[in-house]
Amino acid sequence: MKKLVSSRATVARRLVLPAAAAAVVGVSSLTGAGAASAHVSANAPTVTQGGYGVVNLVVPNESEVAPTTSIRVTLPGLKSARPEVMAGWKTVVTKKDDLVTELTWTAEPGSPGIPVGQFAQFSFAGGPFPEQETVELPTLQTYADGEKADWNQPTPADGTEPEKPAPMITIPVGEAGHGQHRAAPETTDAAASQTTETAQADSAARWLGGIGLVVGALGTVFGVAALMVVRRNGRGNA
């Protein structure tokens, strides 16, 4: 009996150990592939063409030995670009001809930056963005050991991803179409006059309605009083 149990255990080990080893290798391969393909990306769910919104820059640390200590993103020349406050990071806004052209985040002394194997998000609110479907945001990533990764390569028309693709956001057209932030409603004299007349008519109608309610209430009071007098007189005659 002991020999039978021992034999079964040996067979089980022979089957399980190779399978486990293969699983470990498979997971390691997937992890390595994921790390190798990781790159700086961006998303802007609230931005519309010609409008304002928030852009999120997602920055993974690809180095195996050093943290990321600086991120510099090139902008398409925005009238406004305000970075979100991030603990442990200092931000510099670069302008040219009164337009924001760059945002630079630098890890402050004592800050861990973006540690190995981790990522961080850098956000800013700004605009107006160009009236085009896509906008690239070239980004320079600097590590503590001096190594740099320049994410500035445009994606070709066939969609093939380059080695260091520039982060790119897709911008939809707003509900009001292109340049919706500039389309301020204008009120003409005729429209203003019509608005005034409508307001006056509405005010008069409310006054008349209020007077009607008061008259109705008084009529009810007088009716009740008259009924009480009649009843009293009837009792007195009886």
Supply the DSSP string of 135-203, one letter for each residue. Answer: EE--EEEEETTS-EEEE-BPPPTT----SSBPPEEE-PPPTT-TTTTT------HHHHHHHHHHHHHHH
Residues with Cβ within 8 Å of residue 98, at least 6 apart in sequence: 79
Residues with Cβ within 8 Å of residue 97, at least 6 apart in sequence: 77
Place of tokens 């690809």: 62
Predicted TM-score (pTM) of the model is: 0.60
Query: What tens-digit pLDDT sequence spans the chain (238 residues)?
Result: 444 444 444 444 444 444 443 333 333 333 333 333 579 999 999 999 999 999 999 999 999 999 999 999 999 999 999 999 999 999 999 999 999 999 999 999 999 999 999 999 999 999 999 999 999 999 999 999 999 999 999 988 888 999 999 999 999 998 754 444 443 334 334 444 454 454 454 444 454 455 455 445 445 544 545 545 445 555 555 4
CA 127 to centroid of chain Cα atoms: 14
Cross-strand partners of 151: 139
CATH code of 41-170, in short, is 2.60.40.2230
Type of residue at 139: T
Residues with Cβ within 8 Å of residue 234, at least 6 apart in sequence: none
Concatenating the DSSP letter of every residue in 75-112 gives EEEESEEEEPP-TTEEEEEEEETTEEEEEEEEEPTT--
| HSE value, Cβ hemisphere, 13 Å, CA-based, for 41 | 8
Residue 124 burial (CB count, 10 A):
21
Burial string for 11-49 (b: 16+ CB within 10 Å, else e) reads eeeeeeeeeeeeeeeeeeeeeeeeeeeebbbbbbeebbb
Burial string for 157-166 (b: 16+ CB within 10 Å, else e) reads eeeeeeeebb
